[in-house]
Amino acid sequence: MTPRERFAPDDPREWLSRAHSNLRKAQMTTSGVFFEDLCFDTQQAAEKSIKAVMIARGIDFPYIHNIAKLLSILEEDGVQIPLEILQAERLTRYAHETRYPGAAEPVTQSDYERAVALAQVVVAWAEAQIGWTNPDPA
């Protein structure tokens, strides 16, 4: 395994690199792994991508998992958020509700596939916002 290039913690590229890492983990379906656990990484990929945009714009962000709240902070700063990116708020539930047995209905394969597709869109949008493409994409 080749180590990924690392950047300073206040560099949006580090946050996007970590988002790519989460997205790659989310795409690694393996026997015995629950979709809930994979979807947690889709949420993390989207969250870290959005925070990369915030860092690039000089916005201090709260350490929260609520994607809708993070996007509203960007909107308050004048960023036009496309509808497809606003839909990423659906991933917030994977940060907490689905992580524990019995707290939510099990995640289906269809739910999982939609979550991966949505996370991919958010990561690509964030890359475009900061003008950087990860050389080792997920």
State the Cα–Cα distance between residues 59 and 55, nearest whole angstrom.
Answer: 6
> Could you tell me the residue ranges of all domains in the chain?
12-130
State the Cα–Cα distance between residues 52 and 123, nearest whole angstrom.
Answer: 10
* Matching residue, tokens 């995640």: 107
User: How far, CA to CA in Å, does 137 sit from each of 24, 69, 99?
Assistant: 8, 26, 26
CATH fold group of domain 12-130: Four Helix Bundle (Hemerythrin (Met), subunit A) (1.20.120)
Closest by alpha carbon to 120, among 95, 81, 91? 91
CB 92 within 8 A of CB 67: yes
**How does pLDDT run along the chain (138 residues), one tens digit per residue?**
566 789 999 999 999 999 999 999 999 999 999 999 999 999 999 999 999 999 999 999 999 999 999 999 999 999 999 999 999 999 999 998 887 787 788 999 999 999 999 999 999 999 999 998 877 765
